[in-house]
Structure 1
Amino acid sequence: MRTAEVRVAAAGDAAEIARIQRLTWRTAYAGLLGERALAELDSTAERRWAEAIAFPGTTVHVAVEGDTTVGFCVAGLAPHEEVASASGTLPGDADRTGLIATLLVEPRWGRRGHGGRLLAAAAEGLRLRGAERGISWVAESDSASLGFFRHAGWRPDGTVRTLDTGERRLREVRLTGGLELRLVP
């Protein structure tokens, strides 16, 4: 039986993280993002992931099954612009809110608990930094990711944003939830 675990990413993980992002975006998000956004990802992903791994205040976690990296998650304290309401008002807990910036599991490794382990590890790290709740932005049409976060107890808070990919507009909803997550076997 192969061992599944989550660990903090090292500089040498950037290429695998980029590979997983490219594959997952091409599989799950091609219709949402457009070819131009995917092509840009192809040319810059590995360098950007190396920068993200080294960025202070952000933790990149990787899920590993056996010797294979199968997913990743990026977490840190949420910048105020990510926590603010549509009017720009900050909630009272803005400085105690964590952000799950990205959580992806390569599609062929889905439904094996990797996403839950990644979210639990990220939540634990955010709690250690003083966060009391978390937020994440998810494409409104991404039913798999919305279902995953709902299963973890996270819900839309009524805030939406629209991103311009250069070819399309991507509407995202902000989810929020607790950071006291427990994995259920």
Structure 2
Amino acid sequence: MSDASVRTARATDAPAVGAVQAAVWRTAFVGIVDESVLAQFEPAAFAQVWARSLRQPPSPLHRLLVATEADQIVGFAAIGPTSDPDHQQSEEDPTGEILAMGVHPDARRRGHGSRLLNAAVDTLRAGDFTTVLAWLPAEDDELRAFAAAAGLTPDGAWRDHVVGADDRTAREVRLVADLREHAD
């Protein structure tokens, strides 16, 4: 494999991140959301949102990280303070969230997901967050197993999203991990 790394995204990365997100979501949500919804997962639409977010982040603590292979963006992770009502922000125990993360289907199983997750956790820890959480599709056993192997564990919370015109829902489960360094 060529040179692989993770770095902070630049505004010029928005089109590539949009293309990766569209490919990831089109693959991840097959059979979960209606075909009409899948058709809306367009790279240009995602790129516009990422460009706006990179120009004007929701907060100074929000970051977009990209995984690269050589000079090509193959993955992304958006992180920031959580807005989860169960994890109210406090100065003593701030919680960060992996808001979105994905690796292009053609670039999987090359370590990009692990590098992204490690960089996301390191960035949150450097921002003094003590806990990280992520909401993952309940039906995606492979993604949940990946997160569990990295130390994120389900805490019993779940939420449903309406994903179709027929009021069909998709369930997500919350996984959390303590970011504080523990002395052995």
Question: If the TM-score is normalised by the length of the shorter chain, which range does it land in?
Answer: 0.7 to 0.9
Q: Aligned partners of 2:127 and 2:76: how far apart in 1?
A: 20
The structure with the greater share of residues assigned to helix is 1
Matches within 5 A, 1:49-64: 49-54=50-55, 55=57, 56=59, 57-64=61-68
What SS does the corresponding residue of 2:30 show, helix, strand or coil?
helix
The Cα shift of 1:32 comes to 1.3
TM-fit CA distance, 1:29: 1.4
Aligned match of 2:76 in 65, 72, 75?
72
Number of corresponding residues: 175
CA distance in 2 between partners of 1:93 and 1:148 (Å): 30
Alignment partner, residue 135 of structure 1: 133
Percent sequence identity over matched residues? 35
User: What residue in structure 1 maps to residue 94 of structure 2?
Assistant: 96
Tell me: CA distance 1:98–1:13, structure 2 relative to 1, closer, same or farther (3 Å): same
Whether the 8 Å contact between 2:18 and 2:46 is mirrored in structure 1 is yes
Q: Return the letter of the residue paired with 1:28.
A: A
Shift of residue 28, structure 1, vs aligned partner: 2.4
Deviation at residue 92 of structure 1 after TM alignment: 7.1
Which of 108, 117, 120 is 1:119 aligned to? 117
Partner AA of 1:17 in structure 2: V
> What amino acid is aligned across from residue 150 of structure 2 in structure 1?
A
8 Å contact kept, 2:26–2:41:
no
Q: Which moved more, 1:162-171 or 1:149-158?
A: 162-171
Contact 2:93 2:130 in 1 (8 A): no
Equivalent position of 1:151 in the other structure: 149
| Stretches of structure 1 lacking an aligned partner (at least 5 in a row) | none
Query: What does 1:29-48 align with in structure 2 at a 5 Å threshold?
Result: 29-42=29-42, 44-48=45-49
1:22 maps to which residue?
A: 22
Structure 1 segments (4+ residues) deviating >4 Å = 90-95
Structure 2, unaligned stretches of length 5 or more? Answer: none
Two-structure CA RMSD over aligned residues (Å): 2.2
Q: Distance in 1 between matches of 2:89 and 2:51?
A: 32
* Displacement of 1:160: 0.3
Output the CA distance in 1 between the equivalents of 2:147 and 2:91: 21
